[in-house]
Structure 1
Amino acid sequence: MSARVTDQADGLRRLLGQAPVRVVAVAGMGPGAGATTAAMSLGAALAQQGKDVLLLDEHHPKVRSVCDVWALGPRGTLADVASRRLRIDQATASAVCGVQVLPASPGATIDPRTLWPRGIVLVDATFDGEGCLSPLAQGADELLLVLQPHPAAITSAYAGIKRLHRAHAMKQLRFLLNGVADAGTAQQVMHNLAQAASRYLALSLLPVGWVRTDPWLSDAARLRQTVVEAFAASAAAVDFRAIADDMGRWTWRTPARPAVFPQALAA
């Protein structure tokens, strides 16, 4: 599908009062950042809001991938749906919370909006060996980076942000602090990061909030659920729901569709 056809489809949806599908790639800045947990928890929170959520699992079939944590066995992959070997409802597996999960190769170049015409698509995204984004993440409307608020993690994350900026000429990124013990420290870290990115990279680095350190997270993992599903009153669940609620108010970038996928051009 060409960019022109995609724009026309968006225009038609707006005329009919339908919001365009938003694609959000979630990526962890460093080992143990908690990006997969964040993607799953945000997906569960969005599903609880009544949103249609597709979660693309680029880490499948690794241990601690989305499919592994939720103990799901999808019948197909994104490639199977793109090639029409399976319909998307045949290929996906449904988590108990209602999120539809589909494995996706990190090299996949299909635009998921052509396959999922409603709601939101989350990508549990991978980086390649040089720290560059997968094609799915490059084509997302938003890139949400997940990082820990510790000094070494912040230093490493900033270096990774510089690599992303250099590799993809990105103008805007969003980020989430995960595992926060002190709100005041989190606010200072977010301010400092945003200021440094603006001053030295001319990059808009937008904080979406933080998720507090929470002992209920490990109990939820043991139950193969997110904390949003298992322990709705916990601090982390409250934080994830607040971020998910705010996602619907994120300003669309211009253009909303920054990337055109090679397969779409060839179709």
Structure 2
Amino acid sequence: MADFRGDQATGLRRLLGHPQLRSISFTAGGAGVGQSTAVANLAASLARVGREVLVIDEHADVGVASFFGAFVANDLQQVISHEKRLEDVLVQVAPGIRVLPVARVVGQLGSLGEREQRTLVTCLAGLLPPADVVLVDSSLDHPLGFSPLGLAAQETVVVVAAEAAAITEAYALIKKVSLGYAHRRFRILLNRVRSEVEALAIHDNMARVTDSRRLARLEYAGWVPLDGQLRQASRLCQPVAALFPEAPAARAYAMLAEQVLEWPPGNDERGGLEHFVQLLLHLSQRIHATAIYA
């Protein structure tokens, strides 16, 4: 059943010019842990409860759009250089879900001139319909070692598979970003686990280590079970909830969507997407690779 009170509140915020935006960056310590799959399925679950979702995708090859069977031809870089309109670059992959490819421009944000910055802020601030939730699918290969989109987002979710190598890589990423950029809080999403008991055990062990070494505070975001129906839906380029709504993974993503909407929206509620982009540009011009690799 739709939450009409929530819809009225959202409409009122927009009428008064105070959109409430949630921005969440997804990252991982290494490849193959299901990060993009998690972003795609969470986006679908959020759209199913009436939220407008903007996925900012840093991947040049197989990105979130491909999980919906959509093809990406353009990039935000072409909007900044006035070759394309934002409408030409955005990919509507499903009702309520748009994907914005940024692979070509994300490494150049720190060197944009004033005119290019103004173009970027203006075009995204005028996005219609406005986004309720921004999900960032971060690349592991950013030249700065960690995407500035991850630093600008209100929340950073580290996707961790229930494998020893993935856990080690996730810890190394958290340590690197904590020491390099003083980023002290992460949420942990456990993926491909056999039970919530296993998920909580992995999270608690990681949290205990990072806390004892005063690196960061890790908060539990939830867990997604190892589910053959999720793999089958991915092969068919569909969210698991669309094909198998009763699958364990579908229920897990629905629960994650509910929890995401309950997370505190941060201090930029009044600025919306424009504030997010301005913060992104600010951070991009002030961070450098030597800090994170030192």
The TM-score normalised by the length of structure 2 is: 0.75
Residue in 2 aligned with 1:70? 68
- Once residues 124 and 209 of structure 2 are traced to their aligned partners in structure 1, the CA distance between those partners, rounded to angstroms, is 34
Residue in 2 aligned with 1:203? 216
Residue in 2 aligned with 1:58? 58
After TM superposition, list the pairs within 5 Å mapping 1:184-263 onto structure 2.
184-253=197-266, 259-262=279-282
Distance apart, 1:181 and its partner CA:
0.6
- Once residues 80 and 282 of structure 2 are traced to their aligned partners in structure 1, the CA distance between those partners, rounded to angstroms, is 13
Which residue identity is paired with 1:93?
V
Residue in 2 aligned with 1:134? 147
How many residues align? The count is 252
- Once residues 115 and 195 of structure 1 are traced to their aligned partners in structure 2, the CA distance between those partners, rounded to angstroms, is 43
Contact 1:25 1:137 in 2 (8 A): yes
**Unmatched 5+ residue regions in structure 2?**
1-11, 110-119, 270-274, 286-294
210-219 vs 99-108, greater mean Cα deviation? 99-108
Contact 1:45 1:241 in 2 (8 A): yes
Distance apart, 1:18 and its partner CA:
4.3
After TM superposition, list the pairs within 5 Å mapping 1:89-100 onto structure 2.
89-100=87-98
| 4+ residue runs over 6 A deviation | 255-258
Residues 260, 29 of structure 1: alpha-carbon distance in 2 compared, 3 angstrom cutoff: closer
Instruction: Give the secondary structure class of the aligned counterpart of 2:242.
Output: helix
After TM superposition, list the pairs within 5 Å mapping 1:100-119 onto structure 2.
100-105=98-103, 106-107=106-107, 109=109, 114=125, 116=127, 117-119=130-132
- Once residues 196 and 80 of structure 1 are traced to their aligned partners in structure 2, the CA distance between those partners, rounded to angstroms, is 44
Distance apart, 1:250 and its partner CA:
0.8
CA deviation map 1:205-224 (0-9, x unaligned): 11110000101012102211
- Once residues 232 and 84 of structure 1 are traced to their aligned partners in structure 2, the CA distance between those partners, rounded to angstroms, is 42
Distance apart, 1:154 and its partner CA:
1.4
Contact 2:178 2:215 in 1 (8 A): no
Instruction: Give the secondary structure class of the aligned counterpart of 1:261.
Output: helix
**Unmatched 5+ residue regions in structure 1?**
1-11
After TM superposition, list the pairs within 5 Å mapping 1:37-48 onto structure 2.
37-48=37-48
Which has a greater percent of helix?
2
207-216 vs 195-204, greater mean Cα deviation? 195-204
Residue in 1 aligned with 2:177? 164
Residue in 1 aligned with 2:112? none
Distance apart, 1:255 and its partner CA:
6.9
Residue in 2 aligned with 1:3? none
The TM-score normalised by the length of structure 1 is: 0.82
CA deviation map 1:179-227 (0-9, x unaligned): 0112212111112222222221241211110000101012102211121
Residue in 1 aligned with 2:23? 23
207-216 vs 160-169, greater mean Cα deviation? 160-169
Distance apart, 1:26 and its partner CA:
0.9
Residues 132, 215 of structure 1: alpha-carbon distance in 2 compared, 3 angstrom cutoff: same
Instruction: Give the secondary structure class of the aligned counterpart of 1:51.
Output: coil
Distance apart, 1:118 and its partner CA:
3.0
Instruction: Give the secondary structure class of the aligned counterpart of 1:179.
Output: strand
Contact 2:50 2:96 in 1 (8 A): no
Bigger RCO of structures 1 and 2 (CA < 8 A, at least 6 apart): 2
Distance apart, 1:31 and its partner CA:
2.0
CA deviation map 1:76-133 (0-9, x unaligned): 3222344554443332121135311121123253569635443111111013367821
Contact 1:131 1:163 in 2 (8 A): no
Contact 2:22 2:265 in 1 (8 A): no
- Percent identity between the aligned chains? 31
Instruction: Give the secondary structure class of the aligned counterpart of 2:50.
Output: coil
